[in-house]
């Protein structure tokens, strides 16, 4: 059974940091690209990052470049999203998701991802 479980969210002050984790099971991380999306209240779900081990590539949305870093530990079948210099506008539920391809190519769209975690809440206070 394919499963993605996020953790690491919380309430932090502006300028703070968090590391989100996405534990994958039921499939081999090497075989798929993994994306991170976020959804703020009243807004559409947006892609923030994608990582693929097959070609050692990572992609970021312009709004998070330089602040977010995605990484993968294939031995642990876990993907991480390090978030630094947090801003109030980063407040959202963060989801990790499995892409239908083994490579990112680009951040992509929701329909290109087939399995989703339950999400972890990140709240940034000003």
The answer to whether residues 124 and 12 touch, using CB atoms and an 8 Å cutoff, is: yes
Best CA proximity match to 118, nearest among 4, 1, 2: 4
Helix and strand numbers, DSSP H then E, in the chain: 0, 11
Tens digit of each residue's pLDDT (9 = 90 or more) over 75-120: 999 999 999 999 999 999 999 999 999 999 999 999 999 999 999 9
| pLDDT at residue 79 in the model | 97
The C-alpha atoms of residue 124 and residue 29 are separated, in whole angstroms, by 30
* 93 three-class SS: strand
The C-alpha atoms of residue 120 and residue 6 are separated, in whole angstroms, by 6
| Structural element, H or E, at residue 111 | none
Q: Tell whether the model's pLDDT for residue 48 goes beyond 90.
A: yes
Q: Which residues neighbour 117 within 8 Å (Cβ) at sequence distance 6 or greater?
A: 3, 4, 5, 6, 22, 95, 96, 97
* Mean pLDDT of the chain, nearest integer: 96
Q: Tell whether the model's pLDDT for residue 64 goes beyond 90.
A: yes
Percent of the chain surpassing pLDDT 70: 100
Q: Tell whether the model's pLDDT for residue 51 goes beyond 90.
A: yes
Which band of pLDDT confidence, cut at 50, 70 and 90, is reported for residue 54?
confident
């Amino acid at each position: 059974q394919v499963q993605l479980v996020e953790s690491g969210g919380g309430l932090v002050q502006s300028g703070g940091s968090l590391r989100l984790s996405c534990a994958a099971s039921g499939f081999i991380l090497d075989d798929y690209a993994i994306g991170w999306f976020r959804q703020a209240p009243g807004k559409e779900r947006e892609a923030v990052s994608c990582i693929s081990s097959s070609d050692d590539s990572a992609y970021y949305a312009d709004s998070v470049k330089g602040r977010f870093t995605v990484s993968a530990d294939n031995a642990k079948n876990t993907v991480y999203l390090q978030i630094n210099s947090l801003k109030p506008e980063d407040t959202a539920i963060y989801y990790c998701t499995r892409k239908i391809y083994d490579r990112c190519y680009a951040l992509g769209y929701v329909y290109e991802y087939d399995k989703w975690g339950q999400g972890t809440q990140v709240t940034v206070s000003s």
